[in-house]
Structure 1
Amino acid sequence: MSKAIGIDLGTTYTCVAYMKADNTIEVVKNKREETITPSVVTFENQLTFVGEDAVDRRGKDPKNTIFQVKRFMGRLAADPEIQSRSYPFEIVGSKKGDARIRVTPIGSDGVSKVLCPEQISSAILRYAKAIAERAMGHEVTEAVITVPANFTNTQRQATVDAGEIAGLTVKRIINEPTAAALAYGFGRTVLVYDLGGGTFDVSIVTIDGTDAVVKATQGLTFLGGEDFDRRIFEEAVAQLRKKVTRETFEDLCQDQFEQTIECVKDAIAQSGCATSSIDHVILVGGSSRIPRIRKMLQDIFGNSKLKFDVPADHAVARGAAILAASLTMKNGASEVGRVGGGAVRLADVTPFSLGTDITHDRARVIIPRNTPYPTSVKCGFTNGDDHMDNILFQILEGEKALASENNLLGEVTLECQPRLINENRIMATYSIDENGILHVHVKDEETGKEVQTTVKTSMLTIAERNQMVKDAKKRAATEAVELEKFNVRTLF
């Protein structure tokens, strides 16, 4: 049995799975005997409620019941995607501007606290860890956690931070559609259409024996079933209706459905594959069950290519569990974590281009989007002005032509010999390791001076993260006592 678990940390639901000793995948049931748990958290006095227990409290305590927290991970409070939506709980910005949530738990005498999305997500992950430990019969300390393919470096790091706060060593972050492809294990080229509650992803993956190679990925981080629900609600209110027909619903959301199809077409074009070369289309996520969406995909690929073999709600967690088992293999455990008879070797791709700024606010791409990693790319530069004694390199993520419109991941400054314009010879090397972490090395070819950095774009400082880990452990101990009292009280 694998000691590591796979977790699909979804916007609306979370699912956890692990590989058993017989190499089969087990999807874990929660205390209500359900295989998926609502990604909802309620803070009440000394207790934290997760899943259905939190959903049950949403009506009476909406300001302290947090949902869709995944949409706040690694984002600024001023992000237009956050500002354009209304929530019953209070969203505030930290001193650095990242999105946080203020709660005033019942029984706290009006004392409020500001929590970061990583802390709230960690409560969900801690719950996933607990139900897995109950099912497996031993402590769980390692996990593979899935993220949308279109998550930025900052959002991926936020997910790692959440796992660490929950007491987990995050062995790998894997893209959700890539995980789903592993769950199916076809020895062919597959397109994964993953439409969940809050995000949409599409990836084209070739699985050949033990090798899983991602050809291209596309996605929308703010489009999913929750957005369809919003359209239905707005229509019902506007028309004073109690019911909305399926046809009306599908017409209301047609433009959003078409956005996902455009992503599908873009991914195919970027992969270099012909539509006819796609052997299977794997439908993942609860919203992929919508009939009109299936019809739109059938119009492109034909009915026979659409596959539903693995439950849409379980595929991502099952794939994460396969990778988790593979990553924790020991010498001699040759059968664990295998796809097609061997240990999984995964080659994913970068969701965004990576580069730097050059003169006149222009962005220069060093590693284009959809580049398979691990990889390393070198690029030569020179001084843009006379007599510069140092050169600042901004590390950028994004597709915009203007450097200032891309996501700034970090900066490095290289000391150099003052020379006339275009006389310095500078070499920058961007390397991405198997975990998708970017390493940047910049060297003056003449003097040998060099600087290097590993880009870790956490919204949290090391001190903050360490304190949150301590607080989570302390809260868990307090909750164990308080929950016992609570359970006794609810008997009468």
Structure 2
Amino acid sequence: MASRPVLGIDLGTSFCCAAVYRNKQVEIVPNGIGSRVTPSVVAFNGEKWLAGEAARMFGERHPERCVFEIKRVMGRSFLDPKLVQLRAMWPFEVEAGPTGGVLIRVPGASGEELLEPEEISAILLKEMKRIAENFLDGVLISDAVITVPAYFNDSQREATRKAGVLAGLNVLRLMNEPTAAALAYGYQRLIGKPSAGKNIMVFDLGGGTFDVSIIAVKERDGEECDFEVRAVEGESHLGGADIDNVLTRHVADEYERRTKQSILSHRQVRPRLRQAVVAVKHTLSFEEEAEIAFESEGVEFSMSIDRPRFECLNEHLFGKCIAVVEKALREAGIGKHEISEVVLAGGSTRIPRVQELLTKFFEGRRPLMTVHPDEVVAYGAAVQAGVLAPGLREEDRPAIAVEDITALSIGVKTTLGKMCVIIPKGSPIPAKGSKNFHFNKDDGTTIVFQLHEGERALCRHNRFFGELVQKGFLPLPGTGKAVSRIALEVDSDGIVRATAEATANHKEVGSKVEFQGVLRKDGALAAVTPEDGETDWEEMDKYITAALRSRRELRNLAWEIREHHFSKMTTAEKAKVNEVLNWLSSEVEPGFQSVYEGKVSKLIHLKREVENRPSPSFFHWYAWPWRP
């Protein structure tokens, strides 16, 4: 009896691709018109929702009823500055949700409706499920692995899982796209025993996101190999859609120069311009020149674009790709000569300039494109679905394994906004971490743990994604002794869960509060990388970290003196210590390291004076007249 088939879905920004795993074989699923990829487009025709090619064609005539690139909105704040730029290019309306997220205004059967991005993505996932079931002659599929960019944050992963559930899928795993690509090559033995003990790089440039993963190939019994992810870097807003936008603005500028009219202000025309631009981009991948032509309000417009001009317009984006490659190598602690193969994934890797820059960077070694870049991620997802499927016989499971890592550091906001990392970037998942915390001020009764993810020293430069509030502590002087322990866990999907437990000075020691991450506050930072202008942010963060370390030393020293030496000190000396503690409590921004160090030196000098001074009991004992 054959095992029940399972599904792997690449939920892409521009296109979706599905693959089924059955009888130890992976098959890419063609849609109703025979294409192995389906446009990530949803539209409402007045009676029902359309998805894929039908939605794309309907959207050409009714752009206001068509939604695309929804992946770029998933789990993001409405205030994300990158979304502000993109909204000007979309014909559909985007509004702020009640919790600071994004809502899409679309026409529905009963008038206009506001839908969450997850609901739009669920329509796409339902379509991919339907296509796969038709391919299997009506056999129902429920178990699926859905891929996400490796650099997706907690909220984006949570939103993707929610979309899968809304689509009626049992989501076995959210899998990082570059890892899925490596698994596809490994399962087909295109990367196997000869690469064991070596490192490969997956370069995944899709429609809206870009990831680079460094993966170690590990030998195992038999012909297959296992894969262990060593480093992940990426840009969650870099892909083919950004190249389209650059080209669109170039054409719009030329149109305005010739006609003295703005084309981007016409919502009805923008989709036609976008389709023409995408066609030109694809043509320039195999031709030296292409012509773009469209009609706007009775004006027929055409212009030609050659490949050198196209490459010049987008060179800054291609340069970003190579910068991410260099960063990934630094993160893995290896040189480019230690990469045995470069695997390409994502449709945008077909651009000749991308392949040319990679070949040049790796000194003449060309990247692998043995598996179709549009299909390789879905293929690997189907393999992983076969590994995880609950009803599959053991002999039918793929004999291959992969170990992934966290793409971002996860931590808690502490004094003056410092990021206290609990689970570092690059931790094998599932990952766990915990830390003890104390009150930074006297008489505290409540601790608010604000959770952030990112690599910056201060939390305001990282992304907030939730908080834990723990009440009921007894109002006592601060001593630096732990009163609570927070434990974080990143599950196999990359989603964060947190628990805080009271350990001392609490009405109910051992009581816990729990949290599961969602985007829940207006103004939550969606970006996890520094602004483009902050080129020296790493040096700046080193300086801030050093200053905060000296500040912590000063505070702990003042607490120690207050707790252990006040009995020997004069009123004036006590005032000096309290003055330092009050000054620290009044700070709202980190100060200069030299200032903290200067105050530390003074307190150390005071402490030594007091330690060398006889205790009050010594003088009291010698004052007795009957002393023997």
Normalised-by-shorter TM-score class: 0.7 to 0.9
Q: Which amino acid aligns with 2:112?
A: S
Within 2, Cα distance between the matches of 1:413 and 1:97? 20
Per the alignment, residue 123 of structure 1 pairs with: 123
Within 2, Cα distance between the matches of 1:90 and 1:438? 31
Within 1, Cα distance between the matches of 2:495 and 2:236? 20
User: 1:225-304, aligned counterparts within 5 Å?
Assistant: 225-240=240-255, 242-304=303-365
Structure 1 alignment gaps of length 5 or more: 461-492
Per the alignment, residue 472 of structure 1 pairs with: none
Q: Identify which of 370, 385, 404 aligns with 2:426.
A: 370
Within 2, Cα distance between the matches of 1:233 and 1:261? 24
Q: Which amino acid aligns with 2:234?
A: G
Q: Identify which of 418, 442, 464 aligns with 1:408.
A: 464
Per the alignment, residue 168 of structure 1 pairs with: 169
> Is the CA contact 1:329–1:336 (under 8 Å) kept in the aligned structure 2?
no
> Is the CA contact 1:236–1:243 (under 8 Å) kept in the aligned structure 2?
no
Partner secondary structure for residue 395 of structure 2: coil
> Is the CA contact 2:495–2:517 (under 8 Å) kept in the aligned structure 1?
yes
Within 2, Cα distance between the matches of 1:2 and 1:215? 33
Q: Identify which of 415, 418, 421 aligns with 2:475.
A: 418
The answer on 1:151 being equivalent to 2:152 is yes
Within 1, Cα distance between the matches of 2:349 and 2:392? 40
User: 1:349-360, aligned counterparts within 5 Å?
Assistant: 349-360=405-416
- What's the % identity of the aligned pairs? 35
> Is the CA contact 1:351–1:369 (under 8 Å) kept in the aligned structure 2?
yes
Per mean C-alpha deviation after superposition, the further-off stretch among 284-293 and 225-234 is 225-234
Q: Which amino acid aligns with 2:326?
A: K
Per the alignment, residue 564 of structure 2 pairs with: none
Within 2, Cα distance between the matches of 1:9 and 1:404? 31
Aligned length: 451
Partner secondary structure for residue 383 of structure 2: helix
> Is the CA contact 2:99–2:519 (under 8 Å) kept in the aligned structure 1?
no
Return the offset for 1:165: 0.8
The answer on 1:432 being equivalent to 2:434 is no
Q: Identify which of 66, 85, 94 aligns with 2:97.
A: 94
Per the alignment, residue 74 of structure 2 pairs with: 73
Within 1, Cα distance between the matches of 2:520 and 2:374? 30
> Is the CA contact 1:351–1:370 (under 8 Å) kept in the aligned structure 2?
yes
Per the alignment, residue 218 of structure 1 pairs with: 233
Within 1, Cα distance between the matches of 2:151 and 2:469? 29
Per the alignment, residue 209 of structure 2 pairs with: 199
Return the offset for 1:330: 5.0
Q: Per-residue displacement from partner, 1:402-421 (whole Å, max 9, x unpaired)?
A: 22343222222334343321
Per the alignment, residue 54 of structure 2 pairs with: 53
Cα 1:347/1:38, change in 2 over 3 Å: same
Q: Which amino acid aligns with 1:326?
A: V
Structure 2 alignment gaps of length 5 or more: 256-301, 522-628
Per mean C-alpha deviation after superposition, the further-off stretch among 300-309 and 316-325 is 300-309
Within 2, Cα distance between the matches of 1:83 and 1:417? 46
Return the offset for 1:454: 4.3
Return the offset for 1:155: 0.6
Per the alignment, residue 334 of structure 1 pairs with: 395
Within 2, Cα distance between the matches of 1:406 and 1:254? 28
> Is the CA contact 2:422–2:433 (under 8 Å) kept in the aligned structure 1?
yes
Q: Which amino acid aligns with 2:120?
A: I
Within 2, Cα distance between the matches of 1:84 and 1:205? 34
Per the alignment, residue 529 of structure 2 pairs with: none
Return the offset for 1:141: 0.9
Partner secondary structure for residue 324 of structure 1: helix
Query: What is the RMSD computed on CA atoms of the aligned residues?
Result: 2.0
Partner secondary structure for residue 334 of structure 2: coil
Per the alignment, residue 15 of structure 1 pairs with: 17
User: 1:473-488, aligned counterparts within 5 Å?
Assistant: none
Return the offset for 1:169: 1.2
Cα 1:331/1:310, change in 2 over 3 Å: closer
Return the offset for 1:2: 4.8
Within 1, Cα distance between the matches of 2:390 and 2:439? 48
Q: Per-residue displacement from partner, 1:34-65 (whole Å, max 9, x unpaired)?
A: 10000001111221111111111112110011
Structure 1 outlier segments of 4+, above 4 Å: 329-332
Q: Which amino acid aligns with 1:204?
A: I
Instruction: Give the helix-richer structure, 1 or 2.
Output: 2
Instruction: Give the strand-richer structure, 1 or 2.
Output: 1
